Amino acid sequence: MKKLISLCLAAILSISVCGCSPSVKTDLTQATDTGTATAASSESETSLATNLTAATESSKPAVISYKDASLPVADRVKDLLSQMTLEEKAGQMVQGVIGTATDADVTSLGLGSILSGGGAHPGDNSIEAWQDLVKNYQEAAMETRLQIPFIYGIDSVHGHNTVYGAVIFPQNIGLGAANDPELMYQMGAAVAEEMKLTHTLWNFSPCVAVVQDPRWGRSYESFSSDPAIVSALASGYIKGQADHGILSTAKHYAGDGGTLYGTGEGSNLIDRGDVQISAEDFEKIHLAPYKALVDSGLRVVMASFSSYEGTKMTENKYYLTDVLKGEYGFTGFVVSDWEATAGLSESAFADQIAAAVNAGIDMFMEPYKYSAAVQAIIDGVNSGAIPQERVDDAVSRILTVKFEMGLFEDPYMENLKTEQTELGCDEYRLLAKTLVEESLVLLKNDDDVLPLKSGQKIYVTGPAMGDIGVQCGGWTMTWQGLTDEDNGGRKITEGTTILEGLEEYADKIGFEIITDPARASEADAVILAIGEKPYAEFEGDSEDLSLEGNLGLNGNSDAIAEAKNLGIPVIALIVAGREVDIDGYMDDWSAAVMCFLPGTEGDGVAAVLSGESPFTGKLPMPWYKDVSQIGTDNPDLLFELGYGLTY
């Protein structure tokens, strides 16, 4: 029996030097010492065997407290963090991209997240394909030693806009014109429910930029130039998302909407540029929404590509750590933007990662260099370039959010409650239509040419009249977006065009829609639907905001001239992501309506033009007469912030 005991002790000792975690090794050493002492004191062989069995059982890591859902989140985080190696911590801090990061990468590197780039989707872009994709990645995460769930991130910025058939809501600038926080809550909830169908629970939205210059290619991603409007609408949206189980992200921290024209990164005109205003104004305008959202429970912030006074926000320790996490008390985590480290002041990738970690970045969106990013964090800690405490803080923040979301209890989302079984339900389309109606701004209405009246004949022309892609703009199905014309004449996704909406309301109200140019002379009035091509980010930076320039729709010029030459009242519909240059046309138009980018429910436009719903939208930012007035002390405005006529 004593020989058997000795063999058991030897076996336990051999286990302790063959790859167990440090905490397990310590437990085993203590157990061995206890067992030796017991043998030396000549206790019974039975007692010694019992102690050895208990020691062996206590060394098993199967029952770990971080898996106990009854414990406070802080305790679970502390316990899990104490068991993680540096390599496991570094993995949690990095996010790879679909199509490059494999299931095997998730397992071997312990990646904390996977994302979709703009428009990236699995297989046939069906709900089933998405669920299978997420499941496969999660199975890979569950193959890791500690079984820490991964989370999938996606830009669902005006609906679940990467997935075919989802409801596409108006872009943020139109939502700012509607300025309805209650409907924003409902929209957040609706988008959340559609996201849950695909098991993609982390949304890189809303953008809370406070846009100051409409030449910026991301103007339509901003709710308003007024930080109070931005704060109120973003708060409603995030609460709707959170109440329906989706993790939202406020972006891009901070000042992305206030960059100075001509300072854009690389060849960009303004995007990713530099903010050059006083610290007081920076806080009052651009930080205000973040302060409000942190106070209401915001859990994720995305750092901006842009700079403040020459320092990139991704490496700006003062604003990321001292202000956001310190002064504002933000307890969630900060994620970098797409390969944002490449634009930092350091030249070597490892130094860029170290600078960003030390500044306060907790998770890195490194779609292609995810493996190198993990290694850079490990090497940085080992060399002393990155403090271990900073890594522990970052990982604690990430784990806290994952625990709060319930991912550890239901990693495969088998118990996920959803209100819908398919995308694009009538309820959500009606909500989107209502937001379209509220977002329209009546700029001019001479002789009460609107609303359209029974018995009228209306000629409809222009490249924006029958194109879902034009209505939706960028970040729809693809990063840059695309027109139906570019899509082979097929709708880019399901929805109702403005023309289809007008034809529907013609039957309701009793007017006639004419689209044949040969019959245009019969019409009492013409609806001219013009606008911008879809674009995103720096691709939308504009020198002149011209409707007939390189960002204007093909066919704008011909349609504008055709409408003018008809000699009848012209009702102009402007389908664009910002206040484009229209001063030279206004005298030729009897009525003008700013539609912004209404999304898939174009019948909302028809509902207001026909008088079924009223005009209530107000301009969410000033409308400059021309670009020379932007940024001047006393600009000559075409329309002021808050302008909007009613019937």
Q: How many CB atoms lie within 10 A of CB 372?
A: 14
- Whole-angstrom Cα distance, residue 143 to residue 196? 24
Under a CB-based contact definition with an 8 Å cutoff, are residues 562 and 292 in contact? no
Q: Can you tell me the distance from the alpha carbon of 36 to that of 6, in angstroms, rounded to the nearest whole number?
A: 10
Distance CA 573, CA 593 (A): 5
Residue-by-residue DSSP string for 204-234? ---B--B---TTSTTGGG-SBSSHHHHHHHH
Euclidean distance between CA atoms 586 and 577, whole angstroms: 19
Q: How many CA atoms lie within 13 A of 5 on its CB side?
A: 18
Helix (H, G, I), strand (E, B) or coil at 522: helix
Q: Which helix (H) or strand (E) is 639 found in, with range?
A: strand 637-639
Burial string for 242-261 (b: 16+ CB within 10 Å, else e) reads bebbbbbbbbbbbbbbbbbb
481, 536 Cβ separation under 8 angstroms: yes
Q: Is 392 a catalytic residue?
A: no
**Count of CB atoms situated within 10 Å of the CB of 44:** 9
Which tokens go with 321? Answer: 């750590």
Number of H helices and E strands in the chain, helices first, is 21, 19
Residues in contact with 267: Cβ distance below 8 Å, sequence separation at least 6, in sequence order: none
CB-based contact 389:348 (threshold 8 Å): no
Which letter, b or e, does each residue of 154-188 get, where b requires 16 or more Cβ atoms within 10 Å of its Cβ?
bbbbbbbbbbebbbbbbbbbbbbbbbbbebbbbbb
Among 213, 274, 337, 541, the active-site one is: 337
**Rounded-to-integer distance, Cα 527 and Cα 514, Å:** 10
Amino acid symbol at 183:
L
Query: 386 with 380: CB under 8 angstroms?
Result: yes
Residues 516, 562 contacting (CB under 8 angstroms)? no
Active-site position among 221, 537, 562, 581: 537
Provide the token pair at 311: 């320092």
Q: Is 337 a catalytic residue?
A: yes
Report how far residue 325's alpha carbon sits from residue 378's, in angstroms, rounded to the nearest whole number.
24
Closest to 535 measured CA to CA, from 624, 447, 469, 602: 469
- d(C-alpha 43, C-alpha 41), whole Å: 6
Structure tokens at 128: 């089933």
Q: Among all residues, which ones are annotated catalytic?
A: 337, 537
